[in-house]
Chains A and B, each alone.
Chain A
Amino acid sequence: MSHEDQRRDVLDRRAFLQRGGIYGAGVLVALHLPRPEAARAAAESTAPVVLSQAEWATLEAATARIIPTDREPGAKEANCVNFIDKALANEDAAAVPLYKGGLPALDGVARTRHGKAFVELTPAEQDAVLGDLEKGAAAEWTIGGQLPSPVFFETLRVHTIVGFLADPSYGGNADYAGWRVAGYPGPRHRRGGFTPDQVEGKAPVVPVWER
């Protein structure tokens, strides 16, 4: 195996992001700092804390393409943007520069291509922009050397999914939107668990939001 193959494998983009970029291994900068809890911050406010109004709007539109709204709510209704804002204010502070650089760059791609802000594009145009960021194929991405667009995209993607499905106390998954879509009835450790009949499929499961 060539050294190059090996380096590419070891530094696999997704592995870097899953274990290294935002969660798990790599929050090395933040690892030894006191980290206030996003749950508390989210409970206090759903107004922007880290993001500007413009950044919030751009990010909200981007999350809405990662998990789109259809017959069921998507990232927008689940308020994933609020989850990300509160995570950046707290546990995921290490990713603030990534968003502060990436969101204007994302908007820049839209303006160069279409003369309009990202939020003003049609869903199809937004998808084309995001798809090019995912592939690293957007020539208009202006800060590539400092922040490859696939790294920004993958962070956005993972953060949106987490915001959709994490406990609502973190500021996303509003009105249990994500759990409803996923058919996940909610955590049970503090609610007595499930009965053997429920485990065996002999009794219905009532979601936590209906009890």
Chain B
Amino acid sequence: MAEEYDVCVIGTGAGGGVMIDQLTAAGFRVVALERGGRVGPLDFDDDELKNVIRDQVFSPHQLETYRFDAESDSITGRFSHLAHCVGGTMTHWAAWSWRFRPDDFEVLSKEGPLAGANLADWPISYDELEPFYTKAEQDFGVAGDHTMNPFGAPQKTPLPNPRHPERVSAKKFAAGAKKLGYHPFPVPKAINSRPYGGRPRCMYGGACRAYGCPIHAKATTLSVSLPRAERTKKLDLRIEAMVYELPVDDRGRVTGARYLDAKGNAHEVRARHTIVSAGAIGTPQLLLLSKSNRFPDGLANGSGQVGRNLTFHHHPSVVGVFDEDLRTYAGFESHAAFDDLHASDPKRGFIRGGVVGELNTFTHQPIAYSVVLAGDHRFGSSWGAGLKDRIRAFPRTLTLALIGEEMPMEENGVDLDPEVEDRFGLAVPRVTKRHHENDLAMYEWYEKKLMEVAEAAGAKHVAPGRNPEVHISKTQAQKGNAHNHGTARMGNDPSRSVLDRWCRSHEVPNLWVVDGSFMPTTGGYNPTLTILANAYRVADHFIREAKKGSI
């Protein structure tokens, strides 16, 4: 019989990478299965056509379908901004590293029920997660100055690294925000502002979000967690291993994982515990693929909640054109933000909110800018002299945007596409996603506020920044996002959630899910630091209980 590992971890991104690191450090023997290949600094250049437009580096085999709701037809493509490679999507993340605020953990209690939304409290509080936020910030070297944000989460330990240089665009944004009475501050970033953790200082090359870091100044599980784990000699990392089934024994326990290698040959590993960290798209896909007599609707899905309640963030944005070179092609995606408009206020006509920042997703690199923004009909003709003038405005153009909290809806989610298969013949994940009225109202309100900030900052031409990929309306939703959460909810009620407070399946005692899937609600901040902190929390519990012999 094949060797039985202590733990099998499926996925090496923010959740899986931390689990692998913490468990191997504690002496457990871990087999890690990563569906993608190994990419590294030598592959990480800043060729925009290769990396962003053609997406040839990170997810060459990614495939999914999208539909608006259960009555709509679906379309096939790559809509979620994922990286299927060692290190997962963190490999090309923007490294914004926020703590969620205490109220983000108790949305249902604070707001009460909202018709059409499936709100829930988290089974844990901010105070329980706080020490693990600190651990994540220290390990990943977050740089910034949390004392400048009077509306941020309370923080006992300062960030380990000082703030980064204030880019010209950030100075403009901050000046506009201050003029309106807001409190701008440097975005906390898991990017080295000085040599730290054996990794160098950032070189401010500009191509950061959507690119790998060629010098590992950006903290990722690829640069922080996995090298440490490999040094323990406790890790068996298998790449290009596409897990297609989690088999169960006659006691209803997971025995490990079955996967296909790059050639499509099947393999099986055995482990005492299995941790699924395939992301909020990949995790429900795998659980739903794992049907058995005992679990006919998919593994750990007795509640029927696997794959439901998918949330993204939505991003109302405005584009402003200034008189001078803003240097947005240097530094990283965003340097400044403010939180004054974050707190929930039902008087606005919607609940919840989010953080506002200079967010140069489409304005820091010339091709995406020129195809998506300069070439957008709503700014005039999409070709000819008008297009050329807007291409000339590239270095003077700034985007301001919201990280907007979305309302979870039970009917939004991920299931198995009945028609579309991947290259191995496996059903691809089908995303069903529309917006709640609250999302639409939030979008409209923040868009107006962003216009005010851009004008106060001195932008001469200001226009809504909507484009077909992020536009939201009653008939059209974002088809994908880099922020995916909620498809394997954590909760105290096994009939309404998939995972318990330790991210362990209510039904399968040796199955754990540690990625973004656990989040019942998603705050108005980028989720990765919270995924990291939660992984440290689960790992801490796992190690303590395993050493006591109680799991």
Contact residues of A with B, CB < 8 Å? 1, 3, 5-7, 9-12, 14-15, 18-20, 23-26, 28, 31-32, 65-68, 70, 72, 74, 91, 127, 130, 134, 157-158, 160-162, 164-167, 170, 178-179, 181-185, 187-190, 192-201, 205
9 A–B contacts, CB within 8 A, in A order: A1-B475, A9-B473, A19-B479, A25-B77, A66-B384, A68-B384, A166-B49, A193-B205, A198-B327
B392:A187 contact, CB within 8 angstroms: no
Contact residues of B with A, CB < 8 Å? 44-49, 53-56, 60-61, 66-68, 71-73, 75-79, 164-168, 171, 202-207, 211, 214, 324-325, 327, 329-331, 366-367, 369-372, 375, 382-385, 387-388, 391-392, 394-396, 423, 468-469, 473-476, 479
Closest to A66 in B: B383
A185 to B330 alpha-carbon distance, docked (Å): 10
A26 to B394 alpha-carbon distance, docked (Å): 28
A198:B391 contact, CB within 8 angstroms: no
Closest to B370 in A: A161
Chain A neighbourhood of B479, CB < 8 A: 15, 19
A201 to B172 alpha-carbon distance, docked (Å): 12
Given A25-B79, A188-B205, A199-B330, A182–B394 Cβ distance below 8 Å? Answer: yes
Distance from B431 Cβ to chain A, minimum over Cβ atoms (Å) = 12
A181:B384 contact, CB within 8 angstroms: no
Which of A11, A127, A184 counts the most chain B CB atoms within 10 A?
A184
Candidates B46, B71, B367, B384; contact of A189 at CB < 8 Å: B46
A72 to B392 alpha-carbon distance, docked (Å): 10
Q: Is the interface of B mostly helix, strand, loop or mixed?
A: loop
Closest 7 CB pairs of A and B: A25-B77, A193-B203, A196-B165, A193-B205, A201-B168, A9-B476, A189-B46
A205:B476 contact, CB within 8 angstroms: no
Closest to A123 in B: B384
Given A10-B73, A18-B372, A194-B205, A65–B384 Cβ distance below 8 Å? Answer: yes
Which of B45, B56, B76, B391 counts the most chain A CB atoms within 10 A?
B391
A189:B331 contact, CB within 8 angstroms: no
Given A14-B468, A181-B388, A184-B395, A201–B371 Cβ distance below 8 Å? Answer: no
A91:B54 contact, CB within 8 angstroms: yes
Closest to A160 in B: B383
A31:B73 contact, CB within 8 angstroms: no
Candidates A25, A127, A179, A189; contact of B207 at CB < 8 Å: A189
A19:B71 contact, CB within 8 angstroms: no
Chain A neighbourhood of B165, CB < 8 A: 196-197, 199-200
A205:B383 contact, CB within 8 angstroms: no
B383:A74 contact, CB within 8 angstroms: no
A197 to B391 alpha-carbon distance, docked (Å): 25
Chain A neighbourhood of B388, CB < 8 A: 67-68, 70, 72, 74, 181
Chain A neighbourhood of B325, CB < 8 A: 183, 201, 205
A182:B387 contact, CB within 8 angstroms: no
Candidates A74, A160, A199; contact of B167 at CB < 8 Å: A199
A165:B366 contact, CB within 8 angstroms: yes
A61 to B325 alpha-carbon distance, docked (Å): 32
Given A28-B76, A165-B367, A201-B168, A9–B207 Cβ distance below 8 Å? Answer: no
Chain B neighbourhood of A9, CB < 8 A: 68, 473, 475-476
Chain A neighbourhood of B205, CB < 8 A: 187-189, 193-194
Candidates B204, B391, B473; contact of A199 at CB < 8 Å: B204
A157:B383 contact, CB within 8 angstroms: yes
Candidates A15, A184, A189, A201; contact of B394 at CB < 8 Å: A184
Candidates B78, B166, B327; contact of A24 at CB < 8 Å: B78
A82 to B167 alpha-carbon distance, docked (Å): 37
